[in-house]
Structure 1
Amino acid sequence: MARVDLRNSSRYWRDPRVPGLSCLVADFTSHDYAPHSHEGFVVAVTEAGGAEFKSRGRSDEAKTSTLLVFNPDEPHSGRMGWSRRWVYRGLYLTPPAIETLKTALGLETTAYFTRNSFHDPDLIDAFLGLHRILDEGDDPLEERELLLRSFGTLIRRHAAGEPGLAQPARDRVKAARIREIMRERHAEELTLEQMGAEVGLTPFQLIALFKRTTGLTPHAYLTQLRLKAAIAALDRGATIAAAALDAGFYDQSALTRHFKRAYGITPLQWVRAATG
């Protein structure tokens, strides 16, 4: 991903996989935002310190316990105020990204939020996790899954009125078909859109159905299949790098990260244990 350095040790980049989605990691020690607006949604999560912001004629605080959301074209301003440091992560969705999100979530209209700050620990953790995964940029399926889950949950919980998210069909046959596709094509770059289209579900419906019927998200289930394929390849004598690529992982480091997360050891430790 191309990065642009901003003042105060901040980074900004555009996600190449989602047109219209941009990310910012800001570490401010002195900065004031003049009144401004964005053409799309802004979601921001504070990691340390905080700031003051003004919107809708009132002032509020950006802090670690608060998720900030601004609607498209909604004027707001900000300043450091009481804090000597403000570290936060921001997500920016312009119209192309909003349309992608609406389609994937099954929304008929663009969501609207009547407040700018939400005290919702689960969502704060979800958006921090999403942003960090987008920063790493090495797992398209996980990125897409977390993007839809985070924004889908935000809209369900906090959007004004009835946003009209399509309800997932309770059909185990569809989940079984998706599992079959994953088993057959685990080494490919599968997308939620592709798999959902196979059974007539939106990506958001697919995530909900899969979690309900398997106890795992599509990404987690696919990762397990890939780990099993990598282990089989290692047991046949493949190198770790070859096993990673053959199983469908982005690279050797991705295999190692998921392997240790799942099993508590690295692939190298697995190989050494098997040959020792």
Structure 2
Amino acid sequence: MVAILLRSSHDRNHQGRLDRNLARIDLRNSSRYWRDPRVPGLSCLVADFTSHDYAPHSHEAFVVAVTEAGGSEFKSRGRSDEAKSSNLLVFNPDEPHSGRMGWSRRWLYRGLYLTPPAIETLKAALGLKETAYFTCNSFHDPDLIEAFLGLHRVLDEGNDPFEERELLLRSFGALIRRHAAGEPHLTPPVRDRIKAARICEVMRERHAEALTLEQLGAEVGLTPFQLIALFKRSTGLTPHAYLTQLRLKAAIRELGRGATIAAAALEAGFYDQSALTRHFKRAYGITPLQWVRAAAGR
């Protein structure tokens, strides 16, 4: 009888500890992590925390994090700072840091992790000879924050390789040019209207193909980063925006000939019907279906 009573008391105490531990676990904490299928070594994280603390740690990867809501406190280089929506966080590979919720009741953020293969891909595309290094972990740069949020969301959607590559190079190129230590030797800008005209010609001829910035750059002897800068200066649009306009016009021609929306999307070079619809609405304020109905007099 004594043994039974002792065991029962032990069980109740054990259950009490379990209940208290569960009470400290906020079930609203969530995270989603994936590897980008097109850039080896690039991973992405979306985390929404209400109670998570990060123990001191480091990554093999170069890390960029953008806060969408709330925030946290982090420690690196022996100093404490805040992760919040007005700051962009950057950590060099193997740089120790830790974090805790601190003042905020929520921390919703997006992170990008570039391991050596992704870093080498980026260096080649930007024309960098050496890996960029940052002597500060937090930057107040609204334009850059928006750029990285846009990049991460496009990577999350995962249906436009051309736009992903362009945003990757533009955002990291701007980050390195503005904030990296020393004077990073990014490939110098190019001013050449003939090359810009040739790029436009190639896109007009091959807009339905799965074009890449590397392919277009090779046509005129430019790195992808040089290509983006040259094209923006020459046309007022990024290569992706120009290519999208070409594809929208091609889709409208196909719809005018009686093609279904799905067929018109693929013929024009869009990933699928939903991609066409999204860009169509963004550009014209109406959907392809509304356009088709109006063309038919309905």
TM-score by length of 1: 0.97
Task: Give the conservation status (yes or no) of the 8 Å contact 2:28–2:50.
Answer: no
2:42 aligned to which of 14, 18, 21: 21
Q: Distance in 1 between matches of 2:190 and 2:103?
A: 49
Q: Distance in 1 between matches of 2:49 and 2:142?
A: 23
Is the counterpart of residue 249 in structure 1 residue 270 in structure 2? Answer: yes
Is the counterpart of residue 88 in structure 1 residue 109 in structure 2? Answer: yes
Q: Distance in 2 between matches of 1:139 and 1:168?
A: 26
Q: Distance in 2 between matches of 1:9 and 1:68?
A: 20
Q: Distance in 2 between matches of 1:9 and 1:82?
A: 19
Is the counterpart of residue 273 in structure 1 residue 286 in structure 2? Answer: no
Give the letter aligned to residue 172 of structure 2: F
Cα 1:60–1:96 shift into 2, 3 Å: same
Q: Distance in 2 between matches of 1:262 and 1:32?
A: 43
Task: Give the conservation status (yes or no) of the 8 Å contact 2:191–2:230.
Answer: yes
Q: Distance in 2 between matches of 1:205 and 1:122?
A: 20
Q: Secondary structure at the match of 2:194?
A: helix
Q: Secondary structure at the match of 2:85?
A: coil
**Can you list the C-alpha shifts for 1:63-84, whole angstroms capped at 9, x where unaligned?**
0100000001100000111111
2:209 aligned to which of 178, 188, 193: 188
**Can you list the C-alpha shifts for 1:45-75, whole angstroms capped at 9, x where unaligned?**
0001100000000000000100000001100
Is the counterpart of residue 140 in structure 1 residue 161 in structure 2? Answer: yes
Question: What's 2:124 paired with?
Answer: 103
**Can you list the C-alpha shifts for 1:23-46, whole angstroms capped at 9, x where unaligned?**
000000111111111112100000
Question: What's 2:255 paired with?
Answer: 234
**Can you list the C-alpha shifts for 1:72-103, whole angstroms capped at 9, x where unaligned?**
11000001111111000000000000000000
Q: CA deviation at 1:118?
A: 0.1
Question: What's 1:64 paired with?
Answer: 85
Question: What's 2:70 paired with?
Answer: 49
**Can you list the C-alpha shifts for 1:134-161, whole angstroms capped at 9, x where unaligned?**
0000100000000000000000000001
Q: Distance in 2 between matches of 1:242 and 1:183?
A: 19
Give the letter aligned to residue 129 of structure 2: E
Larger Rg: 2
Q: Distance in 1 between matches of 2:220 and 2:98?
A: 45
Matches within 5 A, 1:168-207: 168-207=189-228
Task: Give the conservation status (yes or no) of the 8 Å contact 1:9–1:28.
Answer: yes
Q: Secondary structure at the match of 2:222?
A: coil
Task: Give the conservation status (yes or no) of the 8 Å contact 1:168–1:201.
Answer: no
Q: Distance in 2 between matches of 1:213 and 1:98?
A: 29
Is the counterpart of residue 75 in structure 1 residue 75 in structure 2? Answer: no
Structure 2: tracts of 5 or more residues without a match: 1-26
Structure 1: tracts of 5 or more residues without a match: 1-5
**Which stretches of structure 1, 4 residues or longer, exceed 4 Å deviation after superposition?**
none
Q: Percent identity?
A: 89
Q: Secondary structure at the match of 1:50?
A: strand
Q: Distance in 2 between matches of 1:172 and 1:136?
A: 34
Question: What's 2:12 paired with?
Answer: none
Q: CA deviation at 1:168?
A: 2.0
Q: CA deviation at 1:235?
A: 0.3
Q: Distance in 1 between matches of 2:231 and 2:271?
A: 23
Question: What's 1:3 paired with?
Answer: none
Q: Secondary structure at the match of 1:138?
A: coil
Q: Distance in 2 between matches of 1:40 and 1:160?
A: 18
Q: Distance in 1 between matches of 2:290 and 2:217?
A: 37
Q: Distance in 1 between matches of 2:214 and 2:108?
A: 34
Q: Distance in 1 between matches of 2:67 and 2:134?
A: 19
